[in-house]
Structure formats: structure tokens, C-alpha cells
Amino acid sequence: MSLIDRLGNWYQFFDKQEFNNTLNVLRKEYKIHSVMPDSHQIFKAFECTPANCSVMLISQDPYPQKGVALGIAFGNEVRDNKISPSLSKLLEPLSIDESFDYTLESWCKQGVLMLNSALTVIQDKPNSHQLLWRPFITTFLTNYSTYNQKVVYVLLGKTAQTLKPYIQYSGNIIECNHPSYLVRNDIPMPNIYQQINNSLLQLNKPVIRWYD
């Protein structure tokens, strides 16, 4: 199956020229650098469909450490009984147990698009691909937010918050510090999950089951 086939109906919200230009640059980047995530996982966050997407959580860029990023913002595999500090902080308001899905695919399947403002990063170099992805992400946000006005946007951190002007009909935006900032400064994570579900109820949309 081709990449365009895997993206399905999301592809209509991309600027085709920007999309192809970005992929062409990435092919070269993967040859000369160690880039995260693996190339086949770059668009993994797009597992929900445009029609059932009800929440878009936007962060900065993938984990820059090798073997951690999965293509879903904040999602990671459990290694040696440890998860990334930023994911641990993100989950702080939730009463999760050992059965919790730390890849966050269960959220994606409910209509939560866990998107980074840059979908790739060079190993150990945070923000290294922000400029590369900026045209693609801004166009996508403008196109999709025009199409679907009943989405709750969660902008985590200053980088994600610079994308706010590209969100059309932006009555449902929640802004919060990035979890890594909260970790560094030992600040509790606010309960964005209750805020999101309250906003979804106001939009007459099903709430998200953040944990079972």
C-alpha cells in the first residue's frame, strides 16, 4: 500500500506540492542523518479519519532519542519499565494502571490526532526539522480546521501555540505549557482531559475515554 493510500482522506487537506517537497528533503535527510521516527512511522498519528477526529493535540517534535519516537506525539513503548518523562507528566492527572496503552494508539482510534508541529527530528537535535515541516503543518491546519469546525485543539508549549493563527473557527482551543517544561520546573500537569471532554460535550461530541 502506498503512503497516499495509507493516509486515506487526510491527503485532501495537504498541499500536494508542499507534501512532495517535504518528502523529497526527508529522503535525503534519512540518508545522511539518524532521523526519528523510522520513516514508515512519520504519519502514524493519522490513524483516525478526518470525519471522526474530534481532538487535535499538538506538541513540538518527536522524541529525539533513538528508538523512542513512534510517530504519535508523546507515545512510546515501555522500555525497562520506564516511559519518557514528558509522557509521564502528560499522564499525571489520569489514574492509569499497568494495562495502559503508552503508545497512545487507543486515543488515536477514538478520534484524537496526536500531532507534532514537526513530524521528524534529527537524533539528539530538538527542533532541527521545525522549519522543514512548517509550511506543511500550517497549510494542513488551515485546510482541516475550515472543513471540520467541531474539533478541540490542545496546544502544548510555545512552539505549538505559534500555530494558533492557522486554526480557523478557533473557539475551542486549550493552551498549556509543554510537559517537558513542567517536568523541568516541577510544576503539576493541569487536567486538560476534563477540559477537553467538557468542550466535546458542548459540541455534542462523544467524550474521550482517556483510560479504561
Per-domain boundaries in the chain: 3-202
**CA 100 and chain centroid, separation:** 19
pLDDT of residue 3 exceeding 90, the answer is: no
112, 25 contact by CB (below 8 A): no
The pLDDT tens digits for 61-78 are 999 999 899 999 999 988
Q: Provide the CATH number for the domain formed by 3-202 in this structure.
A: 3.40.470.10
pLDDT digits (tens, 9 = 90+) for 119-166: 999 999 999 999 999 999 999 999 999 999 999 999 999 999 999 999
Cα–Cα distances in angstroms (integers) from residue 59 to residues 1, 56, 73, 93, 125, in the given order: 28, 10, 7, 18, 16
Give the pLDDT confidence score for residue 212 in this predicted structure: 66
Residue of 5, 38, 61, 186 marked active site: 61
Clarify whether 101 is annotated catalytic. Answer: no
